[in-house]
Amino acid sequence: MAAHISVRDLPRVRDVALTLAGHGFGELARIIGIETASSASEQPVARRVRLALADLGTTYIKLGQVLSVRPDILPQAVLTELAELQDNAPQVPFDQVRTLVEEELGRPLTEVFASFDEAPLASASIAQVHGAVLLDGTEVAVKVQRPGIHTVLQSDLHILYTLARLVEGQLQVPGLYTPVEIVQEFELAIQTELDFLQEARAAERFRTNHLAIAGVTIPEIHREWCTRRVLVMTLMRGKKLNAVVGGTDEGRQAMRKFIESWYHQLFEHGFFHGDPHPGNLMVLDDGALCFLDFGLTGTLTAQMQDVMTDIFAGLVFRDAETVAMAVYRAGATAERVDLKAFRNEIERLMAKYHGASLNDLSARGSLLEFIEVAKRYHIQLPREFAIVARAGSIVDGIAKRLLPDTDIVEEVRPWAQRLVQRRFGPERLSADTLRVLQHAQTAFRDLPTQANQLLLDLERGRVSITAKDPDAELLRQEIHHAATRISLALCALALAVSGTILVATWAPEPFGVPVWPFFGFGIGVIALGMFFGLVMHWLFAARIHPREWYRRAVAVIRFFVGERAP
């Protein structure tokens, strides 16, 4: 976890607070500890969140982009706004690009590239892309990390962690994550995105998985010239998917290739593109569909794939019970879930999709609504499921534009039938049977040993049974409060009586000073304070949490003092 903020970062914290206040979030600024007037705004909260992040700069824009694919953290209205966040980073001067590339590759630029375009093809907050030609004549795209970006992000992460700790417990955030957990998710995502070698491995894995899919291609990675801060891949020629006209043969072909690729990513290989927005997809000059940018990917285990199969098949064949149970088993919750009500909510959502064209669905439903329902029932889904749902909503948006008059359920029905046939095929059934028999054999083999261990523990008194009763816990708290009040009352009464007796002995003492009466008066003041504490405890015992006060005090002290390296 990142270290606490130091005093030298306080000006930046003040900038953050003033920016938040300028967009109508003055309460957040006050929680941080900076009093400032909050500007009035009639714009929706979600839009104000996007504008505030855009004004805060690089790290916060990237935070918004990372969170825009996490429907388990933020509500749909905010996700929609964050998806519009665009990098407006200035171009890095070519001299700095040359220096960084030569430093990473360990040789002059001319020993690797026959030519290298000084003007970038694209410039973003993390990196910018240049066109180049290798010595063998291959046209490539060179992705170069912005110099110093790692230091900037680490510094801003320190600030984000401190701000998250300051508002935790005082700010009700949507979803099932605390502010600190949200920053932790951002740190995990950004550290992955800063490692271009990891992106290279993801791209190579995608390329291998798509070799057998006709009409879908992935750029070739030139691994010998890739480092943690430089990524070299084949330059692809074509147009972005958002430039394809919807309703045309080209659009229909591109969408069907995308659906086939998406099916293989989720159900065949369990490795999927986490951000398939139109800017990361191209239709090449030969008509092939090309995926770009593999900074955000996800991996599904075999168990997760089975759950996804249940959800997909249940949605297509309108089996709300299967979908509800699959989502419930996939998630985690500490509370009791009303499965009947949950199933009814799922069935209500499914009714939006059946018999409707994608054009109708533009105003009737979204796959993100299923995540919203899960959040309402406090079901916390794994990160991969949330990213799949967000990616699915992006696919939904692409399909609405490219296949506006198509019934999406009928379009994907053949894929669902293929999944069900594979699930109940002889090969899968035999494999499942063997796995169950193997687990049963292991359980029976270990049963005698486990039974002997239990009997020995019982014999030696090592087994204890604990029962928890919420009402008993409340009773324990009430008894604790009553004992505290009785102790305060007795101590205050004893001090009051003692002080009264001492004051009553008012008489000149040595040197003319009545010592004991003054001492008695002091005891009386203490007794009065204890009586006041008794009244406060009686009135506000349920609202006073000394541990929470201690935690906040420690957070404030750390905020100003900071953690010093040993």
Whether residue 522 is predicted with pLDDT greater than 80 in this model: the reply is no
Kind and range of the H or E run holding 54:
helix 45-56
Q: Considering only CA atoms, which of 120, 85, 75, 84 is closest in space to residue 101?
A: 120
Examine residue 460 and state whether it is found in any structural domain, yes or no.
Answer: no
DSSP letters, 531-551, are HHHHHHHHHHTTT--HHHHHH
Residues with Cβ within 8 Å of 265's Cβ and at least 6 positions away in sequence, in order, are 209, 271, 272, 273
Residues 305 and 396 both lie in one domain? yes
Between 315 and 41, name the one with better pLDDT: 315
Q: What percent of the chain has pLDDT over 90?
A: 16
Going from the C-alpha of 165 to that of each of 158, 168, 178, 552, the distances in angstroms are: 11, 5, 9, 9
Residues 417 and 557 both lie in one domain? no
Distance of CA 236 to the CA centre of its chain: 32
Give the number of residues written for the chain: 566
Residues 36 and 164 both lie in one domain? yes
Residue 382 is which amino acid? P
Chosen domain end from 393, 427, 461 = 427
As for how many domains the chain has, the answer is 3
Q: What is the mean pLDDT of the chain?
A: 77
pLDDT, tens only, 180-191: 777 887 787 788
Residue 380's pLDDT band (cuts 50, 70, 90): confident
Examine residue 545 and state whether it is found in any structural domain, yes or no.
Answer: yes
pLDDT, tens only, 77-98: 787 787 777 666 678 899 999 9
Whether residue 546 is predicted with pLDDT greater than 70 in this model: the reply is no
pLDDT confidence of residue 430 = 73
d(CA 566, CA 564): 6
d(CA 289, CA 217): 6
Residue range(s) defining the domain that contains residue 550: 487-561
d(CA 29, CA 42): 19
Between 497 and 258, name the one with better pLDDT: 258
Burial 266-288 (b: 16+ CB within 10 A, else e): bbebbbbbbbbbbebbbbeeeeb
pLDDT confidence of residue 364 = 43
Residue that the structure tokens 């900038």 belong to: 15
Span of 285-294, 356-365, 380-389, 462-471 with lowest mean pLDDT: 356-365
pLDDT, tens only, 462-493: 777 776 666 666 777 777 777 777 877 788 77
Whether residue 521 is predicted with pLDDT greater than 80 in this model: the reply is no
Compute φ and ψ for 387, nearest 5 degrees.
-70, -40
Q: How many helices (H) and strands (E) does the chain have?
A: 21, 11
Residues with Cβ within 8 Å of 44's Cβ and at least 6 positions away in sequence, in order, are 77
Compute φ and ψ for 384, nearest 5 degrees.
-60, -40
515 close to 509: Cβ distance less than 8 angstroms: yes
Examine residue 478 and state whether it is found in any structural domain, yes or no.
Answer: no
Residues 420 and 507 both lie in one domain? no
Residue 126's pLDDT band (cuts 50, 70, 90): confident
Examine residue 357 and state whether it is found in any structural domain, yes or no.
Answer: yes
Span of 141-145, 167-171, 499-503, 525-529 with lowest mean pLDDT: 167-171
Residues 391 and 307 both lie in one domain? yes
pLDDT confidence of residue 33 = 59
Whether residue 170 is predicted with pLDDT greater than 90 in this model: the reply is no
Q: Is the dihedral of CA 176, 180, 186, 192 positive or negative?
A: negative
Residues 307 and 410 both lie in one domain? yes
395 close to 278: Cβ distance less than 8 angstroms: no
pLDDT confidence of residue 208 = 94
| Assigned token pair, 482 | 């009553």
pLDDT confidence of residue 280 = 84
130 close to 142: Cβ distance less than 8 angstroms: yes
pLDDT confidence of residue 291 = 93
pLDDT confidence of residue 277 = 79
Distance of CA 19 to the CA centre of its chain: 23
Other C-beta atoms closer than 10 Å to the C-beta of 253 total 16
Residues 170 and 25 both lie in one domain? yes
Residues 407 and 313 both lie in one domain? yes
Q: What percent of the chain has pLDDT over 70?
A: 76
Q: Rounded to two decimals, what is the model's pTM?
A: 0.66
For the segment 494-506, the average pLDDT, to the nearest whole number, is 71
d(CA 74, CA 175): 6
d(CA 350, CA 197): 41
Examine residue 60 and state whether it is found in any structural domain, yes or no.
Answer: yes
> Which of 42-51, 222-231, 291-300, 331-340 is most confident?
222-231
Residues 419 and 538 both lie in one domain? no
One-letter-per-residue 3-state SS of 365-398: CCCHHHHHHHHHCCCECCHHHHHHHHHHHHHHHH
Residues 365 and 499 both lie in one domain? no
Chosen domain end from 142, 177, 212 = 177
Examine residue 474 and state whether it is found in any structural domain, yes or no.
Answer: no
d(CA 536, CA 155): 43
Kind and range of the H or E run holding 411:
helix 408-423
Residues with Cβ within 8 Å of 77's Cβ and at least 6 positions away in sequence, in order, are 44, 45, 46
For the segment 263-286, the average pLDDT, to the nearest whole number, is 87
Examine residue 530 and state whether it is found in any structural domain, yes or no.
Answer: yes
pLDDT confidence of residue 196 = 93
Between 326 and 288, name the one with better pLDDT: 288
Residues 522 and 415 both lie in one domain? no
Whether residue 134 is predicted with pLDDT greater than 90 in this model: the reply is yes
Q: Considering only CA atoms, which of 506, 502, 482 is closest in space to residue 494?
A: 502
For the segment 426-438, the average pLDDT, to the nearest whole number, is 68
Q: What share of the chain is helix, strand, coil (3-state, %, to 5)?
A: 60, 10, 30
For the segment 217-232, the average pLDDT, to the nearest whole number, is 94
For the segment 234-248, the average pLDDT, to the nearest whole number, is 85
Q: Considering only CA atoms, which of 344, 328, 345, 327 is closest in space to residue 336?
A: 328
| Assigned token pair, 448 | 């005698």
Residues 65 and 163 both lie in one domain? yes
Pairing of strands 289-291, 216-217: parallel
pLDDT confidence of residue 56 = 80
Examine residue 261 and state whether it is found in any structural domain, yes or no.
Answer: no
Other C-beta atoms closer than 10 Å to the C-beta of 1 total 9
